[in-house]
A and B are shown apart, each in its own frame.
Chain A
């Protein structure tokens, strides 16, 4: 029987969701004034979940994720404003037909932008697939720099004003839930989504976060998700097992990008105007740090990481500044944000490199890493008895002969099982859990048999997968 704790654990996401749904009541009654920063943080939560697919699941280091965010934002800029003033296109916009420009309902823009950013993700991915990880990082970084530049310079592309340059696109349509009348009929009084009425934005953000979460968790334990993780751990081995690495990576890029695009649409629509200068490298890094601080490859890690990183940026530091001002101190904490952030990153990596919530498989990596920090007499390059390369991310456990020598492995397996708090009853009790088992031919050679970290049963996270 599952213990109370396990039952609680299984339903934790629902508790979190319930809390999120009633949070505005609490916030409103206490008058915390946290709504604005919170909306920005929630945008980053979506971004972090999207990037987690690319970096955390598939292990493709992307330093230019902000590009997809920007593309998403420009989608809503183009499709829900008077920017293209020479034409009049209205689709379910709820606005008078006479207003010039393209005006699509935001509910249409979301899927359009998701597809468009996915296409861009694949376009970026396709030429970079042959590259090693570090080159990939620099190419994505370049992409993240090019896209905002193109938007910035896009006011005169062959004489066409595509992006309105540095002035950006402003005056975006406010979304409506089935038009003004629809809003009224629902009795929500949400006819005016805007800076004074943040509640609808909040619930939209929550809905999008749930969507991103659903996509992430579903993908993680799908056949594709397993392929990503296999690629992340060892691409050669993965392709030897018959995984089509190119396709799998392209899917990771595409899906990750489309989540970034959704976040971009949301952000653009909420701010109501789009400036190319707001899509800086800094944002890519902040989101990457959220994923890493939270614990790469773990969806909840990405969520918590985004709260930590962006909570610091958009809530804690500004609040500290105003609190300091209240007691007569003139310290602008926000202007120290990069330093604080930098120190946080360094300290985090030195003392808890696996993140706040490491994914189970990565936890294994870090726990068994030979030669912990400070071990000066253990130069890299001699990992494990096999003398793996200097940067082998996953050194073999020192019992290469797991089947041959029964002594070490038994102990090791016990340790692994213990570290997973793997309750045998649960395994038995859930015969349906490994519904999509790995093909029998698939082996994860760096782990001993039975310690496969990708096994659904081994990871409590899977319990939260929507049925």
Chain B
């Protein structure tokens, strides 16, 4: 069998499998539409939170080909700082709507900036000096930074779950939880803003150029180091927002919250085709939906297994991810 024939067989198998999954979903949806819709909104919310993290992974990977392991812990720091801010300001579930709204907005801004600064600092300390080292070296320092942040959080906020005042509550409007609405209201503008920034601004163009060819970008007069810092800054901003929203939606956070969410987010980035911003968002929404459906229809304890199995299968059937571009080799 030639390579092309093999690829056809692989593709067909993948399509068949995809059809099978969709068909089963359709059947369960028809059986109990209410549960299905509920799970879908939960899935989209989870996916939106993951998308914010996944974008950080995918941007950094796109520009310096590094799996930024510490990114997950920047997200965790965001959730912890958000929690700390809410608790120290004395805002609780019983506070007035205005106080709650204000603290959410202010908390988001402060935590986003803080996480952006943490992320940039990590890049300066741990990755920049290794710009020309073999790729494994920065990956190891990334793991090191991840451990440092996790351990610090564990020491500051304790080794067990920390509860966050439930500022949003469990109400719903027209059958959609307010929590979901808040998440979408924060996430959507951020995603649109990021896309606009990368495609339309001068700095965004510099980011894209640097991602494609650092050397050539430098020759164009682009400050490569500053562009990379900017990428970490943007990733940190999004991770900070995601962290605060995560703490608010789940009303709890923990020092190792980054690990699993980071893993899912990275899976999402790979699923969408790493380096591809749109891909990361779509991948994250898919992962969020898979998470929600599998919790409802397969069993919560199998969620991780399902997600990683799907990841492995996607990579086998389409190694560059769903939206990954075919490698363009320079002629």
State if A and B touch, Cβ cutoff 8 Å.
yes
Do residues A380 and B131 form an inter-chain contact, with CB atoms below 8 A?
A: yes
With the chains together, A344 CA to B148 CA distance in Å?
A: 10
Do residues B302 and A296 form an inter-chain contact, with CB atoms below 8 A?
A: no
Nearest CB of A to B63, in Å: 10
Do residues B148 and A342 form an inter-chain contact, with CB atoms below 8 A?
A: yes
From A137, A369, A381, B133 is in contact (CB under 8 Å) with: A369
8 A Cβ contacts from B214-228 to A: 214-218, 224-225
Do residues B132 and A372 form an inter-chain contact, with CB atoms below 8 A?
A: yes
Residues in chain A near residue B180, CB distance under 8 A:
none
Residues in chain B near residue A375, CB distance under 8 A:
132
Nearest CB of B to A53, in Å: 16
A142-B308, A145-B304, A373-B129 known; A349 vs B141 contact (CB < 8 Å): yes
Residues in chain B near residue A335, CB distance under 8 A:
154-155, 159
Q: Contact flags (1/0) for A338-356 with B, using CB distance below 8 Å?
A: 1101111110111001000
Q: Contact flags (1/0) for A275-293 with B, using CB distance below 8 Å?
A: 0000001000100110010
The segment from A146-154, A199-207, A428-436, A452-460 found at the interface with B is A146-154
With the chains together, A266 CA to B270 CA distance in Å?
A: 36
Q: Does chain B have a CB within 8 A of A5? A: no
Nearest CB of A to B3, in Å: 11
| CB-nearest residue of chain A to B321 | A135
With the chains together, A343 CA to B150 CA distance in Å?
A: 12
8 A Cβ contacts from A362-412 to B: 365-366, 369-376, 378-383, 387, 390-391, 393
The segment from B75-83, B280-288, B311-319 found at the interface with A is B311-319
Q: Contact flags (1/0) for B147-165 with A, using CB distance below 8 Å?
A: 1101110110001000000
Do residues A379 and B144 form an inter-chain contact, with CB atoms below 8 A?
A: no
With the chains together, A26 CA to B186 CA distance in Å?
A: 64
23 contacts between A and B (CB under 8 A): A61-B139, A131-B315, A137-B139, A138-B267, A142-B308, A142-B312, A145-B304, A146-B304, A149-B305, A342-B146, A349-B141, A349-B144, A353-B133, A371-B132, A373-B132, A379-B131, A379-B214, A379-B224, A379-B225, A380-B214, A381-B218, A383-B132, A391-B135
**Cβ-closest 8 pairs across A and B:** A345-B144, A381-B215, A342-B147, A142-B308, A381-B214, A339-B151, A342-B148, A338-B151
Known: A134-B61, A134-B274. 13 other contacts (CB 8 A): A135-B274, A142-B312, A335-B155, A337-B151, A342-B143, A342-B151, A343-B148, A349-B138, A350-B130, A370-B132, A371-B131, A373-B129, A379-B215
